[in-house]
Amino acid sequence: MPIELIKFCEILENNIKGMLVPINKPEGWTSFDVVKKLRNVTGFKKVGHGGTLDPFASGLLIVGFGSQTKKLKTFLTCDKTYEMLVRVGIESDTMDRTGRFYKREENVCLNEDLLQKTIDSFVGSQTQIPPMYSAKKVAGVPLYVKARKGEFVERKAVSVEIYSIDLLNVTDDTFRLNVVCSSGTYMRVLAYDIGRALGTGALAEELVRLSIGDYTLEESFTIEEFIKQWKLLAA
C-alpha cells in the first residue's frame, strides 16, 4: 500500500464520522476555496479550517470534517512557523505584493549587519495593529470587506510574541526569514514594520506557513493528493 494511502487510512481510522487533515494550500486559493473544494469532494456537510491563510500565501492549513470541526478552534491559539520573503524599497496598501503600491525607492542595497540587528530587535513581546486587508472582524464584518470599499476602521493594537527570527539569505533588495511566533501574529505587518525600521519600506513577497502547533507542512497533503486518496478509499 502506498505510504500516502497508509497515512490517509490512519487519519480516518479513529472516527469515520469526521477527520482533521493537514492540507498544503496553494498560492492563489483562499482558505474558503479549499474548504469549498473538499466539501464538494467528500460530501461532508460540515467542513472548516483552523486559521486563515492569505490568498497570496501557501502552506499548512488544517481542515476539519464532520465531528472534528469542533476541534478547529484549538488551532487558532497554537504557535506557528512561517518562511517569508521580504522585498524592501516598496510598500503597498495590503502590505504584500498583491496590493496597490504607493511607495518605491530605487537602488536600495541592504546592509546585512544592519538588517540582522534590525531583525533581532523584533524578537520578543510586542504589539501589532491588524491590517485593513485582513479577515479580522469588526462589528461582525471582515476588515478586508471595508477596505475594498475604501473605508478605514480604527483598529486596536494586539499583543503578540515572536519567539525567533532566523535570517536565511539576503540579496540587494530582498531577504528571507524563518519566523516562529504566537497566534495572531501578522507576517505582513512584521515585514512592513521591519521595512519602516530600516527606513526603506518593505512588503511580504512570498509567505509559506510551515507549522501549526504539532502539525507540519511536511506531513500535509496537496489538494490533488487528498482527492486521489479519497477516491481510492471510496472505490
pLDDT tens for residues 202-228?
999 999 999 999 999 999 999 999 998
The answer, yes or no, to whether residue 43 has pLDDT greater than 60, is yes
Q: How many residues does the chain have?
A: 235
Same domain flag for 132 and 204: yes
Do 90 and 58 belong together in one domain? no
Judge if 88 and 123 occupy the same domain: yes
Residues 66 and 153 in one domain: no
Domain shared by 15 and 122, yes or no = no
> Are residues 72 and 12 part of one domain?
yes
Q: How many domains does the chain have?
A: 2
Q: Which residues pair with 80 in a beta bridge?
A: 181, 212
87 and 158 share one domain: yes
User: Do 95 and 206 belong to one domain?
Assistant: yes
The H or E element containing residue 208 is: strand 202-212
The 10s digit of each residue's pLDDT in 54-82 is 999 999 999 999 988 999 999 999 999 99
Q: How far apart are CA 188 and CA 181, in angstroms?
A: 13
pTM of the entire predicted model: 0.91
Is residue 188 over pLDDT 80?
yes
- Looking at the structure, do residues 94 and 56 belong to the same domain, yes or no? no
Q: Are residues 117 and 207 in the same domain?
A: yes
Q: Are residues 73 and 85 in the same domain?
A: no
Q: Count of H helices and E strands in the chain? A: 6, 14
Q: Residue 14, Cβ neighbours under 10 Å: how many?
A: 11
For 115, the domain range is 80-212
Task: Check which CATH number belongs to the domain holding 142 and give it.
Answer: 3.30.2350.10
Half-sphere exposure of 82 (CA within 13 A, CB side): 29
Q: What confidence tens digit (pLDDT) does each residue in 91-134 have? A: 999 999 999 999 898 889 999 999 999 999 999 999 999 888 88
User: How many Cβ atoms sit within 10 Å of the Cβ of residue 65?
Assistant: 24
Which residues carry out catalysis? 54
